Structure 1
Amino acid sequence: MGPGVAVGFIFLIIFIETGVVFFPFLPGDSLLFAAGVFAAPDAQTGQAALPLAMLLPVVWTAPIIGDQCNYWIGHFFGRRIIQSGKVKAMTPERMAKTEAMIEKWGPLAVFLGRFFPFIRTFMPFISGLSGMRWARFTPFSILGGVCWSSLFTFLGYFFGNIPAVQQHFELVIVLILLVSLLPTIIGLLKARANKAKNTKQN
């Protein structure tokens, strides 16, 4: 499709995952890794399908702009969206986990939440909803967006030419997706176990 269209597609997916609270299930981690793989120079020709100099500004700006969009959605429309019940992925357990991170870490939770699927979508939304000041939210949002996108892009860039990775590329992408989802799954299981325990005690 050409590098211009490809990076536009990458920008759109990363932006939507981060900036639209209705789409927390998009595969941001694995997409960044795959983009990094295609940005790595070919071992034989020395050329890359995606120029790294073109890719990096896109993967840096997409999560930052997305966070800003989601923050203001939460700020102005958050209560109405939650009351509507239209965001099925926004379960009470995920909401509670995100709110607990904000309560424990303050604005640092915005940075930490960037590395957890679902939570990275809900974090800016709940930050805006909860009244966290924009001036406190933004620096940690920028830092988290740049660190997260750089980490997964450079993982793909440096490890993409390893023969084992190239031969099992689809499996590597699935493994990245599973590993990135693991903390969220564990958190949900713990929350469900605690809920069941409290129900029995009552």
Structure 2
Amino acid sequence: MLRLAALDGQVSSWLDLFGPIVFYLIVWGLVFAGTGLFVGVFIPFITGDSLLFAAGILSAGHSGINIWVLAIGVGIAAFLGDQVGFLLGRHYGRPYLDRRTGAWVQRSIRRAEKFYTDLGWWAVVVGRFIPWGRVLVPPIAGIARMDYLKFVAANLVGALVWGVLLTVTGYFAASIPAVKSAAYVIGGAFILGAIIAGILSWRRNRAAV
């Protein structure tokens, strides 16, 4: 809660300093950079869920910010960021990730690899809600040569559920505080259902071998 409050103040300062248009661009740019440029590995709190909530909450109290322009832009930025991560993984392969040094990063890469191996298509969707998964699953899917159209479909679902839904939820949470708590329940239920579906798919694939 303290981190969200601090980020809310920082996001508000962007709007005060730069105005609505630049505010849109900053939020969208951070969402894109979080996965497309790997920034989310180093500062996940400013490129992830907290940013979307804070931006949504702020838009509720500012007439210059249109929540639908903001939310749809977030969804597009999230989608494009993952596409870039996937293509980097596919074209540059393992060396792209191996150049990211540091114990936490390498440990997260190993976790993301297992996560993708276990869940496949669903890992791209569920990974949106996990800081290391959001950043690392797309390039790992590219390295694994995941079918491109399947990745696009999973990426689109994840971008809509994570990017658009969480931003809009932040907007309504400003006037209906219970919405924020409900968002975590809904998000948790979605993730649990996706994980179960992924495990069932994995078991069917194992049985078919």
- Common fold, TM-score beyond 0.5? yes
Partner of residue 37, structure 1: 57
- Which of 118, 121, 138 does residue 107 from structure 1 map onto? 121
Identity %: 30
1:69-108 map, 5 Å = 69-86=84-101, 89-92=104-107, 94-108=108-122
Q: Given the two structures, how large is their TM-score scaled by the length of structure 2?
A: 0.69
Residue 44 of structure 2 is matched in structure 1 by: 26
Compared with structure 1, are the counterparts of its residues 145 and 57 closer, same or farther at alpha carbon in structure 2 (3 Å cutoff)?
same
Deviation beyond 6 Å, 4+ runs, structure 1: none
Residues 1-202 of structure 1: pairs in structure 2 closer than 5 A: 1-24=18-41, 25-27=43-45, 28-40=48-60, 42=61, 48-86=63-101, 89-92=104-107, 94-161=108-175
Q: CA deviation at 1:56?
A: 1.9
How much does 1:88 deviate?
5.9
The amino acid that maps onto 2:56 is G
How far 1:122 moved relative to its partner? 0.2
Cα offset, 1:141, TM superposition:
0.6
**Aligned residue type for 2:77:** A
Across the aligned residues of Structure 1 and Structure 2, the Cα RMSD in angstroms comes to 2.7
Q: Secondary structure at the match of 2:105?
A: coil
Unaligned runs of 5+ in 1: 164-171, 181-202
How many equivalent pairs are there? 163
- Gaps (5+ residues) in structure 2? 1-17, 189-209
Structure of higher RCO (CA pairs closer than 8 Å, 6+ residues apart): 1
- In structure 1, how many angstroms separate the alpha carbons of the residues matched to 2:90 and 2:109? 16
* Larger deviation, residues 51-60 vs 61-70: 51-60
Q: 1:138 to 1:88 in 2, by over 3 A?
A: farther
The Cα shift of 1:73 comes to: 0.8
Partner SS for 2:111: helix
Counterpart secondary structure, 1:90:
helix
What letter is aligned with 1:82?
Answer: L
